[in-house]
Structure 1
Amino acid sequence: MQRLAVEFQEIHMGDNSFLSPAFVILVVGIIAVVVWLVTRAKKKRNKK
């Protein structure tokens, strides 16, 4: 979590490069977590 906070600060400090590598990593990570949670929820629902 601390590393994410540092990357988030870097994004706000460098407003010129909004699509900085840190921002891309952050977005990809969030999407990956959401997809993972959705697939997990679907698997649980199918078992019942």
Structure 2
Amino acid sequence: MLREAIRTMKKRQIKTASICLTVLTIKKIRLKTTEISKRQRMQILTAR
């Protein structure tokens, strides 16, 4: 019983960790895209 519980806990921890990692990567990508869009806007404004 204890071993099974520990196994399930480990599996759950791995799942939560992977979810956290994916969320972090998505946030990083969003930040990068926003930075790029800001730069593009500035370039467009300066070009005009």
TM-score normalised to structure 1 length = 0.60
Q: CA RMSD in A?
A: 1.9
Is the radius of gyration larger for structure 1 or structure 2? 2
- The partner residue of 2:31 within 29, 37, 43 is 37
Give the whole-Å Cα distance in 2 for the aligned partners of 1:47 and 1:26.
31
Percent of aligned pairs with the same residue?
A: 18
Ranges of 4+ aligned residues in structure 1 off by more than 4 Å: none
The structure showing larger relative contact order (alpha-carbon pairs under 8 Å, at least 6 residues apart) is 1
Q: Whose helix proportion is higher, 1 or 2? A: 2
Q: CA deviation at 1:35?
A: 0.2
TM-score normalised to structure 2 length = 0.60
> How many equivalent residue pairs?
33
Give the whole-Å Cα distance in 2 for the aligned partners of 1:47 and 1:32.
22
> Where does the alignment leave 5 or more consecutive residues of structure 1 unmatched?
1-12
Q: CA deviation at 1:26?
A: 0.5
